[in-house]
Amino acid sequence: MNYFNYVEGELYCEDLSVSDIVEKEGTPLYLYSLRTLKRHYQVFDRAFADIDHLVCFSAKANSNIAVLRVLVNEGSGVDVVSGGELYRSLKAGADPKKIVYSGVGKRREEIRFALESGILMFNVESSQELEVINDTARDLKTRAPIALRVNPDVDPRTHPHISTGLKENKFGIDMEKSVAEYRRAAEFEHIEIVGVDCHIGSQIVELMPFLDALNRMKSMIELVRAEGINIRYLDIGGGLGITYDREEPPHPDDYARAIVEEVRDLDCTVILEPGRVIAGNAGILATRVLFTKERDNKRFIIVDAGMNDLIRPSLYDSYHRVLPVRENDGGTAVADIVGPICESGDFLVKDREMPRFERGDLIAVMSAGAYGFTMSSNYNSRPRAAEVLVSGNQAAVIRKREGFEDLVRGETLPGFLLHHDGNR
């Protein structure tokens, strides 16, 4: 359930009309519903009430500090994959002891920052990373809590770009080598082994891949414990999908029921890293039609949001529903919705029957609350969109729209370019 609904032909976010918000804040605009974020978190968290668990929202899905704060206030931890996400999480008020640090390429200074912050644990992805974490912890005269991220070689049956649990993917340590790697980790003086981690991908809409991976992790834990290593945490990652088009992903209750049944007697705290399932349907991207044109029976709707604002359709050929912010009876037409970027791959929708949008109309691109703004860029020197959070009848700008001056912030003209004499 989300809180984007029509009231007398007008699309509302909670108790405010989207068109009124856009009138004040402009387009393109990311718009989030606080009630939806809270509801989705609560449903997910409650589903695991029967076992010892920790929900760590995946910051890469939506890292705005206000969004993170909504979830932190509900009791959530955070899954981070960079020093920047750790910084954001702490700024949002997250408890460091509820932060797990994943990611395949952690820099030494990021590792140091995480150790100094006192995070719950690192999810370690390689032998060399383990060595760097140990060295950094030794420099700080502390011990680093770690889990090894094990690659279970399970096909998540999702888009290949968001699959992470196959041998061909860059993530994790091979299943066959992992026990030996745990044995090796146990010899490091400044490493404290606390868990096992695995994550197989994103936008997964079937239970079986999760259960396949989980069963392999259970076997792993038995083998590692047989080595005399105490495993307290089982991090099973995230990846539960949402409905963008016709997908029918498991409800969090069904997902939890299957997981709980498998781990109930494992004597571990289960860590879960949902992202999309919490934030995806809690946000939309509002955009305005700039122009329309037709060529050889092909209709183009040209809008002011481009692939720099929402890259998922261009990158993954992803489907996002599009709705009129103000309903009309102008009929439908097959069209592409395209942006202003100078790339043929700049589109939000391809060859789809939709309302016959005309110049000046406002369009809501649905299910844009995850991997929307976080993947946006300044390509073509386009300032990034504003972000607004709605709570009931209140709307707050949680990220100001960028201006041209923001595009060159941090750039400088070196002296040797300022004194051109025409001879060089």
**Catalytic center residues:** 342
157/159 Cα distance (integer angstroms): 7
* β-bridge pairing 298-303 and 283-295: antiparallel
- Residue identified by tokens 């029957």 is 353
* β-bridge pairing 99-101 and 77-80: parallel
62/192 Cα distance (integer angstroms): 30
CA atoms within 13 A on the CB side of 59: 30
DSSP 62-126: ---HHHHHHHHHTT-EEEESSHHHHHHHHHTT--GGGEEE--S---HHHHHHHHHHT-SEEEE-S
Q: Determine the length of the chain.
A: 424
DSSP 210-271: HHHHHHHHHHHHHHHHHTTPPP-EEE----B---SSS--PPPHHHHHHHHHHHHTTS--EEE
Query: Structure tokens of 199?
Result: 């994550």
Backbone phi, psi, residue 380, to 5° = 65, 20
Kindly compute the dihedral angle of the four CA atoms of residues 236, 242, 248, 254, in this order, to the nearest 10 degrees: 40
282-317 b/e with 16+ CB inside 10 Å = b? bbbbbbbbeebeeeeeebebbbbbbbbbbbbbbebe
363/287 Cα distance (integer angstroms): 5
Q: Are 139 and 118 in contact (CB under 8 A)?
A: no
Q: What is the DSSP letter of 308?
A: T
Q: Where are the alpha helices (DSSP H) in 248-389?
A: 252-263, 276-279, 312-316
- Listed residue (173, 237, 168) closest to 204, CA to CA: 237
- Listed residue (66, 37, 28, 89) closest to 399, CA to CA: 66
